[in-house]
Amino acid sequence: MSTEIPVIAVTLDFDELPGFVHWKEMFRGIVVAGAAPVAVDCGKPRTDLPAILESVDGLLISGGVDVDPSLYGGSPDDPRIQKINPHRDANELAALEIARARGIPILAICRGAQLANVALGGTLYADLARDWVGRTGHWHSEEALIDSLHSVQVEADTLLADWMGIDGIVPVNSQHHQGIKSLAPSARAVAYTDDGLVEAFEIASDRLVAVQWHPEVLWRNEPHALELLRSFATGKRGARKPGATALVGDGAANRGPEASEGAGRNR
């Protein structure tokens, strides 16, 4: 089925969605931004990611539970590590690799940003409250994410600033207990909190932007968040592949998540 509307693959874990109060806003935001979202359940083993990503125009790696610390040299016995899902880690790492090889835009959000940093050779703070001495509060409730909660400094002349249509001091929301410790060598830090923590990075040549905040929830109240979604979804700074086909394994695009207990704190 061909379409003139860009198709965006959204990776997530259906079992986590009941704990994400604003998950419907993410899909609404992509639609308002001018694209068609396709949900890809990464919470279980799957082998169809190459076919799915061959048929879409962008990849959004969403928030969720902690990245497995063994992937970045952390301790699996760290008591501050919340729930992990090795299947989701493996699927999203594969999706990231495929998307980069295909040259389609990538937007990695919160946990997604952390996973992308790890995939590229970076490391994480396992728990900011314990491991980072800073002034900015990064962990807020699910309900609070609808509004901006602190500010970041967005660097000028970056892909992030281009996609957002703004640079300098920008209000954002926040819900993450982990953060970027050492940035991946190939990435460029493009946003910081006032105490120096990296809040966004990019690889402009790959059209990869990773942010610790949640534009997919903030878009109703902050124009820069909707502009970020729109620029990503419509392939700004690059032509999208014409005639994309919307595919998803296991019929995930056509059914809602099964209700179960949500867990994790890196939304």
Number of neighbouring beta carbons within 10 Å of residue 251: 9
Catalytic, out of 42, 92, 110, 202: 110
Residue found by looking up tokens 């001495």 in the block = 133
For 102-160, the three-class secondary structure string (H helix, E strand, C coil) is HCCCEEEECHHHHHHHHHCCCCEECCHHHHCCCCCCCCCCCHHHHCCCEEEEECCCCHH
Match 């807020």 to its residue by tokens. Answer: 140
214 catalytic? Reply is yes
Tell me, yes or no, if 216 is annotated catalytic.
yes
The kind and range of the H/E element at 202 are strand 198-203
Tokens representing 42 are 């990464």
CA angle 32, 34, 38 (to 5 degrees): 90
Distance in angstroms (rounded) separating the CA atoms of residues 119 and 93: 7
State phi, psi for 250 to the nearest 5 degrees. Answer: 60, 20
Classify burial at 122, counting beta carbons within 10 Å of its beta carbon; exposed 0-12, middle 13-18, buried 19 or more.
Answer: buried
Q: Is 42 among the catalytic positions?
A: no
From the candidates 25, 216, 222, 227, which is the catalytic residue? Answer: 216
Q: What distance in Å separates the CA atoms of residue 234 and residue 247, rounded to the nearest whole number?
A: 18
CA neighbours closer than 13 Å in the CB half-sphere of residue 216: 31
Q: Which of 214, 222, 224, 227 is catalytic?
A: 214
Residues annotated as catalytic (active site), given as ranges: 110, 214, 216
